[in-house]
Amino acid sequence: MTDESTPWATGLTVAGFVAAVTAVAVGVLSLGLIRVHPLLAVVLNLVAAGGLAPTLWGWRHTPVLRWLVLGAGVGVTGAWLALLAMTLLG
């Protein structure tokens, strides 16, 4: 029996960094697409998320990659909420 503890501090730091980078990337790319056409931004975001979801879902149990998956999920969700808020507030 092995006694492997979860590296919460390191893992959450990695997840936070990945979340920040992902949120900025998705936000900036989406803002550029919104200037072309808002529906284009929505469709391409859904296609990108749908394409990445199966890969990320498979990685969620791998010890190191699970922190990247957490960060990517939080980053994309945060970017989408920020874009929705900006759209609703004008």
CA angle 63, 64, 66 (to 5 degrees): 75
CA-to-CA distance for 3 and 18, rounded, in angstroms?
A: 28
Mean pLDDT in residue range 61-67: 93
pTM: 0.89
Q: Which residue has the higher pLDDT, 9 or 5?
A: 9
30-60 per-position pLDDT tens digit:
999 999 999 999 999 999 999 999 999 999 9
* Predicted pLDDT at 76: 97
- Quote the tokens at residue 65: 């990659």
- Quote the tokens at residue 85: 């808020």
CA-CA distances (angstroms) from residue 26 to 2, 7, 40, 67, 87?
40, 28, 14, 19, 15
